[in-house]
Structure 1
Amino acid sequence: MPLVRIDALNADSDRLHALGRAVHDALADTIGSPPDDLFQILARHDGDRSVLRYGQYLGVRRDDDVVFIGITLRAGRTPDTKRALYRRIAELAHEYAGTEPRNILITLTENASIDWSFGHGLAQYQLGDGRAEL
């Protein structure tokens, strides 16, 4: 946990992997995500068969290097921690992938421990009685 989905317009494989690394490193830097906690969906959109649509909402001048990042994670981070995560992702996406920070759109979706299963049909984070499943 967390589960990350990155959608980028006209991104080659190297750029997608650099964006994935940027998000992973930012999660480690700001919320202490472990190094082996890597669950990512990296999707490239070519603008014809698969499209990303964006506007200039809130005066942000996005262009065709736009990247949508959706992160699902357990609830509990403070607003300051979330702001630090957004900043760090934008910094590292620029450093690793050359993506301008104005082109990074991030959403966080929070849920509870019981909302996760990492395999075997188990809720590894929590049994019904509150104990962690093995």
Structure 2
Amino acid sequence: MPLVRIDALRADGPRLEALGRAVHEALVETIGIPPDDLFHVLIGHDGVNGTLQCGNYLGVQRDEGIVYIAITLRAGRTPDQKRALYRRIAELAEKYAGTEPRNVFVTLTENGPVDWSLGNGLAQYDPAWNDPA
């Protein structure tokens, strides 16, 4: 049940959709999320009312094509799965949205079952969610 937020500079609807597709397909392929598990927030920044900043940290030459991808998901993936996810997102972002891999910045935030409510005020992943105590 990942929650994905994608921020891109000067991205129109089709580019945001392409980036979302890239991330979703990578999540399905590399960590096995269900294909219908789709929860994305896609935000385009116009460079005036909202913008993105980046540097060349660790020798990666980023530019205005920068895309920030923040994924929140339940803990439990291996380092190899995470590395495969990063690689696949970069590959598919280039293929679908024309985003150069050097401009794909991904961060994962892991949490536990009780940290999710998928509606109705319940923590559906928590084993004790139906316990009234």
Q: Which residue of 2 aligns with 1:48?
A: 48
SS in 2 for 1:128: coil
Q: How do 1:118-133 residues align onto structure 2 when only pairs under 5 Å count?
A: 118-128=118-128
1:29 aligns with 2:29: yes
Once residues 128 and 66 of structure 1 are traced to their aligned partners in structure 2, the CA distance between those partners, rounded to angstroms, is 41
SS in 2 for 1:5: strand
Q: Which amino acid aligns with 2:76?
A: G
- The Cα shift of 1:63 comes to 0.8
- The Cα shift of 1:127 comes to 3.6
Number of aligned residue pairs:
131
1:5-62 CA distance string (max 9 Å, x none): 0000011110000000000000000011111100000000011100111100001001
Q: Which residue of 2 aligns with 1:115?
A: 115
Q: Which residue of 2 aligns with 1:106?
A: 106
SS in 2 for 1:73: strand
Percent identity of equivalent pairs: 68
Large movers: runs of 4+ above 3 Å: none
Question: Structure 2 length as normaliser, TM-score?
Answer: 0.95
- The Cα shift of 1:88 comes to 0.3
Q: Which residue of 2 aligns with 1:88?
A: 88
Once residues 38 and 119 of structure 2 are traced to their aligned partners in structure 1, the CA distance between those partners, rounded to angstroms, is 14
Q: Which amino acid aligns with 1:114?
A: V
SS in 2 for 1:99: coil
1:66 aligns with 2:40: no
Q: Which residue of 2 aligns with 1:79?
A: 79
Question: Structure 1 length as normaliser, TM-score?
Answer: 0.94
1:68-115 CA distance string (max 9 Å, x none): 000000001111110000000000000000100000000000000110
For the aligned residue pairs, the C-alpha RMSD in angstroms reads 1.4
Once residues 128 and 33 of structure 1 are traced to their aligned partners in structure 2, the CA distance between those partners, rounded to angstroms, is 23
Once residues 53 and 64 of structure 1 are traced to their aligned partners in structure 2, the CA distance between those partners, rounded to angstroms, is 8
- The Cα shift of 1:126 comes to 1.5
- The Cα shift of 1:128 comes to 2.5
